[in-house]
């Protein structure tokens, strides 16, 4: 989007659209853009060739990391966990899968899908180690 001044000195926003974008529009949208072009409020720019549809890179925001760190729940996949929900319920089981919005938990009663926004706490359950059993028998 660029701005220019018309004959009366009024600032007018001009929408740039590439030929490739224009060709992808449905006929009604193309007609709308043709009207804007006639009014001087839009213009079609030539394509830059192959690769023009590459998305912009995300801006580096200083000291913030740009790489995605593994989420805390991702580290617990395959382990026995206790999950405390926002309603106060506690669920114990094996965390089998984590997606963007859900966590899948295998419990003794079956498989549960828990929405992440309902989780307040998730902790790994420490399974007590079985030490050597005392030898049976006497002296």
- Mark whether 41 and 80 lie in a shared domain: no
Q: In terms of residue numbers, what domain contains 25?
A: 2-45
Quick check: 104 and 97 in contact, CB under 8 A? yes
Question: Does residue 7 lie in a domain region?
Answer: yes
Determine if residue 51 is left, alpha or beta; phi over 0 gives left, psi from -120 to 50 gives alpha, anything else beta.
left
Question: Does residue 133 lie in a domain region?
Answer: no
pLDDT at 17: 79
- Mark whether 80 and 119 lie in a shared domain: yes
Q: Are strands 102-107 and 110-115 parallel, antiparallel or unpaired?
A: antiparallel
Residue ranges of the chain whose pLDDT lies below 70: 1-14, 47-70, 129-139
Question: Does residue 108 lie in a domain region?
Answer: yes
Question: Does residue 66 lie in a domain region?
Answer: no
pLDDT at 50: 46
pLDDT at 38: 84
CATH number of the domain encompassing residue 82: 2.30.30.100
Give the count of domains, the chain: 2
Question: Does residue 34 lie in a domain region?
Answer: yes
């Amino acid at each position: 989007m660029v701005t220019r001044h018309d004959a009366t000195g009024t600032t007018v926003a001009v929408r740039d659209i590439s030929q490739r974008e224009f060709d992808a529009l449905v006929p009604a949208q193309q007609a709308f853009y043709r009207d804007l072009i006639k009014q001087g409020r839009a213009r079609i720019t030539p394509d830059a060739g192959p690769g023009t549809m590459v998305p912009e890179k995300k801006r580096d925001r200083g000291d913030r990391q740009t790489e995605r760190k593994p989420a805390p729940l991702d580290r617990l996949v395959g382990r026995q966990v206790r999950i405390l929900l926002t309603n106060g319920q506690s669920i114990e089981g094996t965390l089998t899968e984590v997606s963007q919005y859900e966590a899948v938990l295998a419990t003794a009663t079956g498989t549960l899908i828990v929405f992440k926004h309902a989780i307040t706490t998730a902790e790994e359950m420490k399974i007590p180690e079985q030490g050597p059993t005392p030898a049976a028998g006497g002296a």
